[in-house]
Amino acid sequence: MGLKLVMYKVLVVVLVLLCSWVSGGTASVSYDSKAIIVNGQRRILISGSIHYPRSTPEMWPDLIQKAKEGGLDVIQTYVFWNGHEPQPGKYYFGGRYDLVKFISLVKQAGLYVHLRIGPYACAEWNFGGFPVWLKYVPGISFRTDNGPFKAAMQKFTTKIVNMMKVNKLYESQGGPIILSQIENEYGPMEYELGAPGRAYSKWAAQMAVGLRTGVPWVMCKQDDAPDPIINTCNGFYCDYFSPNKAYKPKIWTEAWTGWFTEFGGPVPSRPAEDLAFSVARFIQKGGSFINYYMYHGGTNFGRTAGGPFITTSYDYDAPLDEFGLLRQPKWGHLKDLHRAIKLCEPALVSGDSTVTPLGNYQEAHVFKSKSGACAAFLANYNSHSFAKVAFRNMHYNLPPWSISILPDCKNTVYNTARVGAQSAQMKMSPVRGGFSWQSYNEETASYDENSFTMVGLLEQINTTRDASDYLWYTTDVKIDRNEGFLKSGKWPVLSVLSAGHALHVFINGQLSGTIYGSLEYPKLTFSKGVNLRAGFNKITLLSIALGLPNIGPHFETWNAGVLGPVSLYGLNEGKRDLSWQKWTYKIGLKGEALGLHSLSGSSSVEWIEGLSVAQKQPLTWYKTTFNAPAGNEPLALDMNSMGKGQVWINGESIGRYWPGYKASGSCGACSYAGYFSEKKCLSNCGEASQRWYHVPRSWLNPTGNLLVVFEEWGGNPSGISLVKREVQSVCADIYEWQPTLVNWQLQSSGKVNKPLRPKAHLWCAPGQKISSIKFASFGTPEGVCGSYREGSCHAHHSYDAFYKYCIGQQSCSVTVAPAMFGGDPCPSVMKKLSVEAICG
Ligand code: GAL
């Protein structure tokens, strides 16, 4: 062999090695600047987050199927460390935490998985996913260049990776996992921490890559992610984002479909038109992987909600609602978007793109491949006005803040602001109320052998280790007979400073006041005149934690509970500081220790029945039994008549409830056009932040289900009812000549050679039928689904076709053409059809 040949061969080997290193291993999954490459093919991949513990295993197949029907290729989830390792070295992978089962179901459905091992998750999950015991590992400091933390992180990450390998779940082994994630949004932390932050993120990257999963890793919001890790974007918009190396693909790991709700806050939602617009913007700028965070948000069962103050519902305004039902039109509008994008895939993954301005706020993004594929995106960024643009000798009308997709560079099949999918109004119909309740009074600070006395005030989390939300603090206060206030009647003022999150103050067993904070301000100050008597008085504080923080620099060090000072003002001596007295502590409630939420525990005490059942009384346990309602609609408890507490069914915790905390904020009209933020489209102001609490069907037996409620504030249990969630009505809002993919397919197949009218499609849920038409108007109707009204132009026969084709049917379609509604009511005006049909 000549020297040249040897050198050539060496060069080839080096190049191959280099390429495979850059593209994340020698696996069947790699990447280049354009896309993730699966089995040799560049792919435009649509992904959605479904967090397995936020639903039940019985719900998983249906959620995954609906995700697939919605046009998803990938399911993304975090791995929830605190669920899997509740105690050091004691692992749990059963029930809602059966990760292997979840991933296997995704595989069975023919979808891929993006596994975000973290193990830091954030996710509004208790402690961001870290087990509380981790905080007590000697010398630990979270998410930085710290030996004990890195050792624990490596151990858990390796455990998960090995588990995936043993079950052959990586794509390189024929499994569904095509991507992984290490850490989560570490960039901002690294910036704050400086050198140790940089050392840690480098270490994390190397540690992950060293696990040889055979599929690429990402780091989200991490601009300096070291090769071969791909840095990715999270946000409401990510079109501006570029990866840190030219040979990495542009990935959006969290396209926020809405936002989370906190107790005391209004409920956010994000218009489908704006979400679709943001996705189309990302694709037209060369993006090739989008993950909806969340696609199904689900429920923070038990005490899994983080924050603090995150609601039990993690609905997120996601395309699948908390209960697993389609949220329309969001689900359908995105499904249509995905089909339009997939039609462009050949041009997107192999083509070069050019951008041409079409006006001040308009541009065309054109992708052309060598094989002749051409796809175009025509964008109008103006959030106020329509734009008429010329593109390749044709004219296109672009609604404000929208993108039209032309998979053949000629015909529009989709516009992000023109929703062809139906909308649906949901209702919560009572199926059972008037439960016959029994009650049991939780004693105020029932101290027992587990209580202990110390000098001074203790931090709550260090004391409870998060075994319960509740920590009792009690101290004695001796009041001398000669105290002036005993004669003047001017009560001394008790002042209590607490690090959070809620507090009840009892004087001699009587509730004297309740205060609580918020996600933004968890700290509390109680200050009130208190009725003390001569001799010994008991001051009892019940401090309540509402989920541990999940985000922020060193959130593991944030305190909760009564840290003081605790003082009495207005005594003869002036102020008396109680902070350094002896305090007696008890972790948790007596009812918790007795296991009153469970079948066996609840029968261990005497409950009060009938007319003497406690009403509006703080610290009360309630129980009842009921039979499962027929049908398979999702169920919920309407807790609006209650204040604050927790609820269980057959021993399973539904979560914390708090309808007594009313949402404050500014709710109002919401336009899809213009940049969205989580503060933009809010509802429920002045009402409970969360009224309904999901009861998974699979937790019920046919008869004799035990429902247990612990009420802290005092509520009216006779107002509690079980409701089912179902479709109340469906609506369509279709413009005449609105482009549709189906019509384009008919035309491009040559079957039809004239312009086609769109159709309005209406579907009620399986088992339902359209019982009446609440509204129909072809012309210039106004309003939204649920509250349409006629505009100045209205075709008088607007209802006829719907009466004829829809009543008594589960679904129907009507062509949006003047002839269907008795002729054109206002020629030369742009018209649309709005229709609302009642399902029953
Ligand atoms: C992101 C984070 C997610 C989630 C989201 C807000 O920054 O990565 O885990 O917390 O914010 O819902």
Q: What is the pLDDT of residues 1-50, one digit of tens each?
A: 444 544 554 444 444 444 434 444 445 899 999 999 999 999 999 999 99
Closest C-alpha to ligand 1, atom 11 = 123
Closest C-alpha to ligand 1, atom 6 = 123
Identify the CA nearest to 318 among candidates 387, 260, 382: 260
Residue 692 has pLDDT above 90, yes or no: yes
Ligand 1 pocket list (CB less than 6 A):
121-124, 184-185, 234, 254, 260
Q: How distant is the alpha carbon of residue 299 from its chain centre?
A: 8
Residue 447 has pLDDT above 90, yes or no: no
What's the whole-number mean pLDDT along residues 208-228?
97
Residue 421 has pLDDT above 50, yes or no: yes
Atom of ligand 1 nearest to the CA of 185: 8
Q: Which pLDDT belongs to residue 28?
A: 85
CA distance 238 to 279: 8
| Residue type at position 250 | K
Q: How far is the CA of 259 from the centre of ligand 1 (A)?
A: 9
Please list, in sequence order, all residues whose beta carbon lies within 8 angstroms of the beta carbon of residue 100, skipping any fewer than 6 positions away.
Answer: 93, 163, 167, 169
CA distance 119 to 658: 30
Identify the CA nearest to 442 among candidates 646, 624, 656, 621: 621
CA distance 12 to 728: 65
Closest C-alpha to ligand 1, atom 4 = 123
Closest C-alpha to ligand 1, atom 3 = 123
Residue 89 φ/ψ, nearest 5 degrees = 80, -5
Q: How far is the CA of 18 from the centre of ligand 1 (A)?
A: 34
CA distance 559 to 130: 16
**H or E, element range at 388:** strand 387-391
> Quick one: pLDDT band at residue 754, thresholds 50, 70, 90?
confident
Q: How far is the CA of 49 from the centre of ligand 1 (A)?
A: 11
Radius of gyration of the chain (CA): 30
CA distance 777 to 430: 32
What's the whole-number mean pLDDT along residues 185-189?
96
Closest C-alpha to ligand 1, atom 10 = 123
Q: How far is the CA of 50 from the centre of ligand 1 (A)?
A: 13
Residue whose CB lies within 8 A of the most ligand 1 atoms, among 233, 234, 295, for a mutation test: 234
Positions of E strands within 614-744: 620-626, 635-638, 645-649, 652-657, 682-683, 692-695, 705-711, 721-735
Q: Which pLDDT belongs to residue 720?
A: 97
Q: How far is the CA of 634 from the centre of ligand 1 (A)?
A: 27
How many other CB atoms are there within 10 angstroms of residue 809's CB atom?
Answer: 14
Residue 355 φ/ψ, nearest 5 degrees = -115, 130
| Residue type at position 463 | T
Q: How distant is the alpha carbon of residue 43 from its chain centre?
A: 26
Closest C-alpha to ligand 1, atom 5 = 123
Q: Of 2-6, 110-114, 412-416, give the lowest mean pLDDT range.
A: 2-6
Residue whose CB lies within 8 A of the most ligand 1 atoms, among 51, 76, 80, 122, for a mutation test: 122
Q: Are strands 402-406 and 470-479 parallel, antiparallel or unpaired?
A: unpaired
State percent of the chain over pLDDT 90: 91
How does DSSP classify residue 600?
A: H
Atom of ligand 1 nearest to the CA of 259: 12
CA distance 132 to 651: 23
Residue 561 φ/ψ, nearest 5 degrees = 95, 180
What's the whole-number mean pLDDT along residues 501-508?
97
How far, in Å, are 238, 517, 683 from residue 679 at the CA level?
18, 20, 10
Q: How far is the CA of 126 from the centre of ligand 1 (A)?
A: 13
The residue length of the chain stands at: 840
Atom of ligand 1 nearest to the CA of 260: 12
Identify the CA nearest to 791 among candidates 829, 746, 750, 749: 829
> Quick one: pLDDT band at residue 748, thresholds 50, 70, 90?
confident
Q: Bridge partners of 507?
A: 510, 539
The dihedral built from the CA positions of residue 542, 546, 548 and 551, taken in this order, carries a sign that is negative
* Helix (H/G/I), strand (E/B), else coil: 811: strand
Atom of ligand 1 nearest to the CA of 294: 12
CA distance 706 to 331: 35
Q: Which pLDDT belongs to residue 4?
A: 52
How far, in Å, are 616, 690, 719 from residue 434 at the CA level?
16, 21, 7
Query: For residues 175 and 167, is the Cβ–Cβ distance under 8 A?
Result: yes
Q: Which pLDDT belongs to residue 671?
A: 95
Q: How far is the CA of 122 from the centre of ligand 1 (A)?
A: 6
The dihedral built from the CA positions of residue 451, 453, 454 and 457, taken in this order, carries a sign that is positive
State percent of the chain over pLDDT 70: 97
Atom of ligand 1 nearest to the CA of 121: 9
Residue whose CB lies within 8 A of the most ligand 1 atoms, among 117, 292, 293, for a mutation test: 293
What's the whole-number mean pLDDT along residues 782-803?
96
Atom of ligand 1 nearest to the CA of 184: 8
* Helix (H/G/I), strand (E/B), else coil: 409: coil
Residue whose CB lies within 8 A of the most ligand 1 atoms, among 80, 232, 254, for a mutation test: 254
Q: How far is the CA of 341 from the centre of ligand 1 (A)?
A: 26
Q: How far is the CA of 138 from the centre of ligand 1 (A)?
A: 29
| Residue type at position 755 | P
CA distance 663 to 711: 20
What's the whole-number mean pLDDT along residues 711-721?
96
Query: For residues 76 and 178, is the Cβ–Cβ distance under 8 A?
Result: no
Q: How far is the CA of 270 from the centre of ligand 1 (A)?
A: 16
Q: How far is the CA of 87 from the centre of ligand 1 (A)?
A: 25
> Quick one: pLDDT band at residue 812, thresholds 50, 70, 90?
very high
Angle at 183 between CA 178 and CA 184, to 5 degrees: 95
Q: Which pLDDT belongs to residue 433?
A: 78
CA distance 809 to 837: 11
CA distance 700 to 639: 18
Atom of ligand 1 nearest to the CA of 550: 10
What's the whole-number mean pLDDT along residues 135-144?
97
CA distance 237 to 281: 8
Positions of E strands within 66-130: 74-78, 112-118
Atom of ligand 1 nearest to the CA of 122: 9
Closest C-alpha to ligand 1, atom 9 = 123
Q: How far is the CA of 48 from the centre of ligand 1 (A)?
A: 14
How does DSSP classify residue 270?
A: -
Residue 470 has pLDDT above 70, yes or no: yes
**H or E, element range at 815:** strand 811-815
Query: For residues 500 and 522, is the Cβ–Cβ distance under 8 A?
Result: yes
Catalytic residues: 185, 254
* Helix (H/G/I), strand (E/B), else coil: 65: helix
> Quick one: pLDDT band at residue 389, thresholds 50, 70, 90?
very high
Give the global pTM.
0.95
Query: For residues 590 and 601, is the Cβ–Cβ distance under 8 A?
Result: no
